[in-house]
Structure 1
Amino acid sequence: MEMISFADFLKVELRVGRVVSAEPFPQARKPAYILHVDFGPELGVRKSSAQITVHYRPEDLVGRLVVGVVNLPPKQIGPLMSECLVTGFHDADGAVALCVPDRDVPLGTRLL
């Protein structure tokens, strides 16, 4: 594991957002959804591709809080320009479980 400084950690903008829409992403190489995540008035709604189809259905994602990295450059994923990275953890089988706050917090709140 490479050690980083606290200053390096502070460069990563991890923010809370709320999923406002989720839909299948059939053009993705691996099963995925297209998420639209609202990060509050300062950052607005951003799109992301998320390979979370094992544990979640699109209709269950809408309204959920998620943690996303919002200061990565946009990335082209097939026909989608991803504007943030929604975070998660691989379970024992390799499927992704979302990283989420356990309480309601204001949209756009930064993880420190």
Structure 2
Amino acid sequence: MCAHKNMAGASGSHQQVDGERLGIAADVLGHLADPTRLHLLHLLSDGEQDVSTLTAQVPASRSSVSQHLGRLRLAGLVQARRDGRRMLYRITSDHLAGLVEEALGYADHAVLGIPHHR
């Protein structure tokens, strides 16, 4: 985290943001905007899983889970590797896993009526 604060162009506690960074961030958030994809990323934050295991944990069909994983893979948010006949998926970044957890933490406050903190 220190590296982020010491980068050139940092002003106070906020870095300058350019169009490329904003575009990438908006694209990632767009992929998180679907509840099934958000759920899949949350599950994959705990480690590799195959389609059958993921399907058993989300309220979606196997084909829907496969399609969502395909989109996440094309976006570079998950990676896949073959293990025999199974494809195992994993999240690509600890930053992404943290973003998912922060979004769910924010939702916890809203759903449970807990005051937000700064």
Q: With a CA cutoff of 8 Å and minimum separation of 6, indicate the structure with the bigger relative contact order.
A: 1
Higher strand share: 1
TM over 0.5: no
Higher helix share: 2
Whose Rg is larger?
Answer: 2
Normalising to structure 2: TM-score of the pair? 0.29
